[in-house]
């Protein structure tokens, strides 16, 4: 909980409302809760990653009261490089910063672990990078380690659909096209489950949420 919750609306809250409104106007940002209801439980949402807008979409698709405690992961070097970026990620999105440059003495997952210990929910994109191929790439192992350390936190797969059409790589302005975020059933780490097996299962859970493609639409977004 942020301390400013008791005060009248801050500039960051207003910014948050404006951003959510714009996201809804441009993309609809519809959340389809197929496998679980939107509840204020501690969760890790993991989703496919195709665009810069992915985080904003998931965030806008969440009910308003869940937004404050659901945090994105942001690369520290990029998102603290200017005052506005820093303010946006810190005050509006309440991001968890991670260092991209790997140092030997520090576990890269440490900031995430801290956030989970404090009871926050996280949104992660386990592919690590944006892919504009249709299917997500193999998942990185961070999800597995978090699942191991926090068995009580629900792991919710999510599929973000259509967003690559809104803002293809290299473009700055988004085109209004409807997008959906489909949330699936919680996933758990089975006892003794192998790391690779779990990550593949998690990836498949995300892929399974993909809505059926429309027939006769050969002009689908180009690969």
Partner 1 sequence: MSVLKSLSANEQVALLFVILFGVLGLVSAVTGLLGLREADERLHQRRQRWARELRALWIGAGLFWLAWMTGRAGATLLFGLISFLALREYITLLKTRRGDHRSLLLAFFVALPVQYLLLAQGSYELFAVFIPVYVFLAIPVLSALAGDPERFLERNAKIQWGLTVCVYGLSHAPALVLLDGQRGAFLLFFLVMVVACAQLVQNAAERHWRRRPVARHIDRGFSLRAWATGCLVAAWLGAALYWITPFKAPGALAMAGIAAAAGTLGEFVMSALKRDAGVRVWGNAPSVTGAVGLLDRVAPLCFAAPVFFHSVRWYFQLRP
Residue numbers of the site for partner 1 (CB under 8 A)? 28, 30, 32, 161-162, 165, 168, 171, 173, 175-180, 211-212, 214-222
* Nearest CB to partner 1, comparing residues 120 and 161: 161
Smallest separation, CB 48 to partner 1 (Å): 15
* Nearest CB to partner 1, comparing residues 37 and 213: 213
* DSSP secondary structure letters along 95-137: PEEE-SS--TTS-TTHHHHHHHHTT-EEEE-TTSS---SSS--
* DSSP secondary structure letters along 57-110: HHHHHS-HHHHTTEEEEEEHHHHTSSHHHHHIIIIIS-PEEE-SS--TTS-TTH
Report d(CA 24, CA 76) in Å as an integer.
Answer: 27
* Nearest CB to partner 1, comparing residues 16 and 174: 174
CA distance to 61, 102, 124, 190, per residue, from 201 (Å): 25, 27, 16, 11
Smallest separation, CB 100 to partner 1 (Å): 28
Smallest separation, CB 147 to partner 1 (Å): 29
* Nearest CB to partner 1, comparing residues 119 and 211: 211
Select from 121, 115, 80 the least CA-distant residue to 96: 115
Smallest separation, CB 166 to partner 1 (Å): 9
Smallest separation, CB 29 to partner 1 (Å): 8
CB of 47 closer than 8 Å to CB of 206: yes
* Nearest CB to partner 1, comparing residues 62 and 153: 62
Tokens of 192: 């003794």
Tokens of 145: 């380690």
* Nearest CB to partner 1, comparing residues 94 and 180: 180
DSSP character for 168?
-
Smallest separation, CB 164 to partner 1 (Å): 9
């Amino acid at each position: 909980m942020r301390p400013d919750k008791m005060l009248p609306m801050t500039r960051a809250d207003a910014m948050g409302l404006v951003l959510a409104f714009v996201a809804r106007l441009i993309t609809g940002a519809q959340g389809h809760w197929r496998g679980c209801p939107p509840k204020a439980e501690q969760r890790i949402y993991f989703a496919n990653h195709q665009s810069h807008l992915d985080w904003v979409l998931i965030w806008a698709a969440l009910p308003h009261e869940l937004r404050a405690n659901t945090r994105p992961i942001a690369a520290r070097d990029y998102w603290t490089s200017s005052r506005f970026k820093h303010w946006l990620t810190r005050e509006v999105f309440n991001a968890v910063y991670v260092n991209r440059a790997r140092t030997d003495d520090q576990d890269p997952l440490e900031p995430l672990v801290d956030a989970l210990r404090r009871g926050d929910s996280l949104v992660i994109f386990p592919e690590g990078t944006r892919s504009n191929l249709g299917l997500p790439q193999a998942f990185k192992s961070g999800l597995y380690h978090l699942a191991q350390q926090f068995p009580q936190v629900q792991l919710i797969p999510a599929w973000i659909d259509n967003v690559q059409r809104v803002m293809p790589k290299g473009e700055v302005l988004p085109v209004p096209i409807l997008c959906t975020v489909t949330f699936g059933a919680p996933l758990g780490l089975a006892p003794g489950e192998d790391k690779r097996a779990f990550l593949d299962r998690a990836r498949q859970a995300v892929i399974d949420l993909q809505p059926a493609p429309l027939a006769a639409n050969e002009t689908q977004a180009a690969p």
